[in-house]
Chains A and B, each alone.
Chain A
Amino acid sequence: MGKLLDILAKKQVLVSDGAWGTFLYQRGLEAGDCPELWNDTHRSDVLAIARSYVEAGADLILTNSFGGSPIKLSHYGLADRAEELNRKAAEISREAAGSDCLVAGSIGPTGEMLMMGNVSEQQVFDGFLLQAQALKAGGADALVVETMSAIDEAALAVKAALSTGLDVACTFTFDRTVDNNFKTMMGVSVESMVEAMASAGAHIIGSNCGNGFDQMIEIVTRIRATGTRLPVLIHANAGLPDIRDGQTIFPESPESMAGKVDALLAAGADIIGGCCGTTPEHIRLIAQAVRQRA
């Protein structure tokens, strides 16, 4: 059992961090740039983002390595720098986290569907393994496989992540269906996600991205209804974005999200944080709400 599971076993609720991508664009990342390359070229900007979440009161921060699989990096001609960019991602978050905050290495999807046959299972696994090992080498305490939609790819990522010996979380992204269920774009239900990820050996399961805390409360309720006792991690968007005067605006304010913390914890979440559109202020108020409750 690693540090993260250790804390969770003491029945503590943990606060995670908020958006990275949204933040990187604010700091000047241009459309079409590789976000992970910034771990090398804009180290101080990435460090500032990580620090802002530690200062906001997060117990756990992620790393700027969501698109760090060699398959994804190959779109930018950077596949051969995967080890370096992932290691640096973890080093940056480690530096920001200090000794009181945990670092969870982010591993996102490859963007390839295994069923299409463009990439082999071995290729996908090898890429995730390289990424997971580099994140560990850079100082990650745990790994978070996130924004998954297909069972096969998620299971390969979890397997690769587990082989490092670190604690492993895996979160899927669900949309509401017309009959009021939740499915990923590949058709995976909440219930099949729980079953598949538990049997893949994930230590922590959950959901990220999507449409705000309201939807997440329903998703957590469904996860708990399966009877699983695995800790649940939720990283929610600040609602569904809108465009105003050419700018992307997220509807959920820090206050509005913090106001839903109680309901989310009551539903059975153990680690909560933000995804797209959430800011350090969101995390600060969420952390406040969690601590007031405890």
Chain B
Amino acid sequence: MSELMDKICLCIERGKVDKKAPYPPDMMNQDGADEYAREAIKAGESPDNILAACNTAMERIGDKFSRNEVFVPELLMAARAMNGVMEHLKPFFQAGNIKTKGTFVLGTVAGDLHDIGKNLVSMVVEGNGWKVVDLGVDVKTDKFLKAIEEHPGCAVGLSALLTTTMANMAATVKRIKELHADTVVIVGGAPLSHKAAKEMGADGYAANPQETVRILNSLVG
């Protein structure tokens, strides 16, 4: 990895968005992910390499999160820094110069308005090179089904924070599997467990964003 790529990687991992960002305090007034990404593109660095730097950074912070070495704030800031880099890559995605690994349709289930966990998963998965279709919160089964039809071959992620909305999640998983047996469904959220995921008929349970990435990448192995 070139020096510039190393810097992008470090800024994302540390959650340094841009020069004016006050976080993290020890990187105050230094260039951030935004500045380095701009510089890299100007210097003719290939978008694939920049995306690879994003992947590496998000994998590192995602692994730290899985090991409880960092928590939601750190992951959120890293994802924010990564989003800034992705903005620079957007034109290349749109022109088809970078290929995504596949499409991941994601939403918080019906009755549940919580989006912090779902947004983290969305950002981490996108940073790993997937196209993410975020359906938002309180997503009814029909909306998931429509998105699956619109994005053939996609994988689906369902999030729930409330113990009271887990039953809605189970109903949505069941319906998806009835109509699209081959569609891979991953579930996650505070009240979930491997056991509950299995009972629902989901293909996978992700305890954290990085596990979602691992499951998704195993599909395209």
Contacts and interface: CB of A to CB of B under 8 A. Distances in A.
A, B in one complex: yes
B163 A242 contact: no
Nearest to A25: B164
Interface stretch (A84-92, A98-106, A176-184): A176-184
B200 interface: yes
A177 B66 CA distance: 9
Interface stretch (A9-17, A110-118, A155-163, A212-220): A110-118
A187 B165 contact: no
A240 B191 contact: yes
Interface stretch (B48-56, B98-106, B111-119, B210-218): B111-119
B146 interface: no
Interface string B71-108: 11110110000000000000000000000000000000
Contact of B196 (A75, A237, A241, A277): A241
Nearest to A21: B164
B111 A242 contact: no
A113 B76 contact: yes
Interface string A170-207: 00000001110101111100000000000000000000
A22 B163 CA distance: 8
A246 interface: yes
Contacts, number: 82
B110 A32 contact: yes
Residue with the highest number of chain B CB atoms closer than 10 Å, among A31, A113, A276: A31
Given A243-B170, A246-B174, A31 B163 contact: no
A293 interface: no
B195 A22 contact: no
B114 A31 contact: no
A247 B163 CA distance: 11
B69 to A, nearest CB: 9
B110 A179 contact: no
Given A31-B110, A242-B199, A243-B196, A186 B72 contact: yes
B68 A179 contact: yes
B191 A241 contact: yes
Given A243-B170, A246-B171, A185 B72 contact: yes
Q: Which of A25, A187, A248 has the most CB of B within 10 A?
A: A248
B112 to A, nearest CB: 8
> Among B110, B112, B163, B195, which residue has the most Cβ atoms of chain A within 10 A?
B163
Interface in A224-250: 237, 240-244, 246-248, 250
Contacts of A187: 70-74
B199 A244 contact: yes
B111 A237 contact: no
Nearest to B68: A177
A237 B162 CA distance: 12
A277 B113 CA distance: 20
Given A75-B113, A248-B163, A276-B163, A242 B71 contact: no
B67 interface: yes
A150 to B, nearest CB: 8
B166 interface: yes
A149 B170 CA distance: 27
A30 interface: yes
B191 A185 contact: no
Give 9 closest A-B pairs by Cβ, nearest first.
A31-B111, A187-B71, A177-B68, A276-B163, A243-B199, A32-B111, A243-B170, A31-B110, A241-B163
7 contacts: A31-B111, A185-B72, A243-B166, A243-B167, A243-B196, A246-B171, A246-B174
Interface of A: 21-22, 25, 30-33, 75, 111, 113, 115-116, 149, 177-179, 181, 183-187, 237, 240-244, 246-248, 250, 276-277
Interface of B: 66-68, 70-74, 76-77, 110-114, 116, 138, 162-168, 170-171, 174, 191, 193, 195-196, 199-200
Given A111-B113, A240-B193, 12 more contacts: A31-B112, A31-B164, A31-B168, A32-B138, A33-B111, A116-B76, A242-B199, A243-B170, A248-B163, A250-B163, A276-B164, A276-B191
